[in-house]
Amino acid sequence: MAQSTGYSKIRTAVFISGTGSNFKSLIKFSKTYKSPISIKLVVSNNSKAKGLDYAKINKIKKKILNFKNKSQSEKKLLSILKFNKIEIICLAGFMKILSKGFIKKFNGKILNIHPSLLPKYKGLNTHERVLKNKEKYSGCTVHFVNSRLDSGKIILQKKVKISKNDTKASLAKKILIQEHKLYPKAILKVSNL
Ligand code: GRF
C-alpha cells in the first residue's frame, strides 16, 4: 500500500452512503499524530447521507455521484480521484458495488469494513442472518476489496459475543462500536507493510 513518510500522509478518500459513523471515527483518527492518513475527500452516492455533515464540520471536500449510470459515474470519479491525488480509498458503508475495471485501477488500495466475521455472512442483512442461525459470535472485518463481493484479503477482524437478548439493532450497535476501533487499526497495519 501507499506509504506515509515523515512529511506527508497518505491522501485518502472515504466513500459513504448513509450515517457515516465510521467516516466520523476515521476523521478523528486521521487527526492524531500516529495516523498515516489524511482524509482529503468524501464521496457519496446519496446527497442526503447524514455522514456528509461531518465533511462540512471538518472542511473535507465532498463529491456526490448518483451512480445511476455506473460507468459514467465511475469515469467521473476516477478523474476526481486523480485530480485530488488520492492514494487510497476507504469504503465505509458505501452501498454501491464498484466495477471490476474501477477496482483494478486502484488494485490493493481499496479497503472496506463489513459487519460480520468474513468469510461468513457476506452481503446485506448480516445481523439478521447471524441471529437466525443462532450464532454465538459475530463481529466485523476490514479487508482489501477485490472484484468479488466481501471477498478480498482480510486485514483485521474483531469478534463480538452475542447475548441471548440481542436483537438486530443491539447487535448492530455493539459491532459498530468495534468497527470504529478496528478500521484505524487496520489502516495502521497495512500502512506499515
Ligand atoms: C457499518 O456497519 C459497516 O460495516 C457497513 O455499513 C455500516 C455503515 O455504518 N458496511 P456507518 O455509515 O459507518 O455508520
Cβ atoms of 179 and 113 within 8 Å: the answer is yes
Instruction: Return the residue whose CA atom lies nearest to atom 8 of ligand 1.
Output: 93
Cβ atoms of 17 and 95 within 8 Å: the answer is yes
Q: Which residues are catalytic?
A: 114
pLDDT of residue 183: 98
User: In angstroms, rounded to a whole number, what is the distance separating the alpha carbons of residues 174 and 189?
Assistant: 23
Residue 193 CA to ligand 1 center (angstroms) comes to 26
Residue 7 CA to ligand 1 center (angstroms) comes to 31
Identify the CA nearest to 95 among candidates 54, 43, 58, 138: 43
Q: pTM (2 decimals)?
A: 0.95
C-beta 179 within 6 A of ligand 1: yes
pLDDT of residue 5: 56
For strands 10-16 and 88-91, give the pairing: parallel
Instruction: Return the residue whose CA atom lies nearest to atom 14 of ligand 1.
Output: 21
C-beta 158 within 6 A of ligand 1: no
C-beta 52 within 6 A of ligand 1: no
Instruction: Note down pLDDT in tens along the chain; length 193 residues.
Output: 666 655 689 999 999 999 999 999 999 999 999 999 999 999 999 999 999 999 999 999 999 999 999 999 999 999 999 999 999 999 999 999 999 999 999 989 999 999 999 999 999 999 999 999 999 999 999 999 998 899 999 999 999 999 999 999 999 999 999 999 999 999 999 997 5
